[in-house]
Structure 1
Amino acid sequence: MNLDPAFLNNLTLVLTGFGVAFVIALWVSLVIWTYRDIRNRARDPLVQTLSTLLVGLLNLPGVLVYLVLRPPRTLEDEYQRTLEEEALLAAIEDQLLCPGCERRVKDAWMICPNCQTKLKKNCHECGKLMELPWNICPYCGTPELGMRREGMSMDDVLRNLDSGKTDLSDQLDVDLSGE
């Protein structure tokens, strides 16, 4: 079996042409992939340019160097991770802590079961829990016992005591309605 040298020469030229075209296509695709990948991983234009030039000049060794040096996470992954951390911190901060022992307490607790610190107080009228600094019940509008209402003189207070009228919530409703 004799092969024609001209045929072998043409076959070698065609295979070499395909090989060169493949290497060029591989090189261009690696440069494009690197540019797209670094754009998703870094905001700095200098880093984007240098990474793309590294792969453009060194081809496969440049891709290997780029893979070693590139940021491990994309910007989207970092953003999602930051959101998750913020959500966890918000969940931790939303939990109420006892001012005495700093253990977690529930919102409906009146006293800390661990250190017996008073957390809330009962309204003497409706019985619902109020925060300690509150002077008036937000549920029924009754002032806390021993607290004077604004705009009420000492004579009015004494008159109410003499008449036996102790329910100040009716007066408060009248004052709020403007009568």
Structure 2
Amino acid sequence: MDTATLGNLALVAAAFAAAFLAALWLSLILWTYRDIRSRSRDPLIRILALLVVGVLFLPGVLIYLILRPSRTLEEEYQRTLEEEALLQNIEDTPVCPGCTRRIQPDWQICPNCHTRLKKICHHCGKLMELSWNLCPYCGTPAPGMRREAVSIEDALQHLPLEEIEENRPASPSLSGGMPFSAPNAEDAEFRKDKE
């Protein structure tokens, strides 16, 4: 082989090496851009990361890998959601007013300090808060509460419409076709005044 051929081969090899290094340099810059974009929203940090890799090439990639944020934005978002869910669970967990330990919502008595947490409706058997005077499930007054304390309007609100229709007294036909309405406090005062 003569020197011209060897020179041409060396020139072709150098051209391939230069093309490979240029492609590697551009691909590392592109990879860095995509990676930093998924890890940071700050435009200054993005530009600095690209400059470090673009100017220093392979040592710049090593520096970028050391200094880049450890989590992507998606991972940070998922972590934040998990923390919020854990905090929400902790806040939603009821605690005993006596010993401040966690309790279950369907417990009637705290197993630790024996504090009464709920009472049972004597009519439907469902658990009620201690402060409730009326069962929200069946409308029955709590034990010890006089029945007269519940107004007619309150009682009618807890009855299904069919029971209201069945229990409604037959009203005489009124002129003007006004429907029957439940007596209220004003009607009771009016009757007392008349007597």
Matches within 5 A, 1:87-98: 87-98=85-96
1:73 aligns with 2:71: yes
Amino acid at match of 1:149: A
d(CA) in 1 for partners of 2:157, 2:36: 70
Amino acid at match of 1:78: E
Q: CA deviation at 1:13?
A: 0.5
Amino acid at match of 1:39: R
- 1:72-110 Cα offsets, whole Å, 9 max, x none, are 010011111112222223333333221111222222221
Q: CA deviation at 1:150?
A: 5.5
SS at the partner of 1:130? strand
Residue aligning to 1:137: 135
Stretches of structure 2 lacking an aligned partner (at least 5 in a row) = 165-180, 183-195
Residue aligning to 1:24: 22
Residue aligning to 2:48: 50
Q: CA deviation at 1:131?
A: 0.6
d(CA) in 2 for partners of 1:35, 1:174: 65
Length-normalised TM-score, structure 1: 0.79
Choose between structure 1 and 2 for higher RCO, CA contacts under 8 A separated by at least 6 residues: 1
d(CA) in 2 for partners of 1:15, 1:31: 24
d(CA) in 2 for partners of 1:84, 1:151: 48
Length-normalised TM-score, structure 2: 0.73
The match for 1:112 among 106, 110, 113 is 110
Change in CA separation of 1:174 and 1:110 when aligned onto 2, cut-off 3 Å = closer
The range that moved more, 94-103 or 43-52, is 94-103
Q: Which runs of 4+ in 1 moved over 6 A?
A: none
Q: Percent identity between the aligned chains?
A: 60
Across the aligned residues of Structure 1 and Structure 2, the Cα RMSD in angstroms comes to 2.2
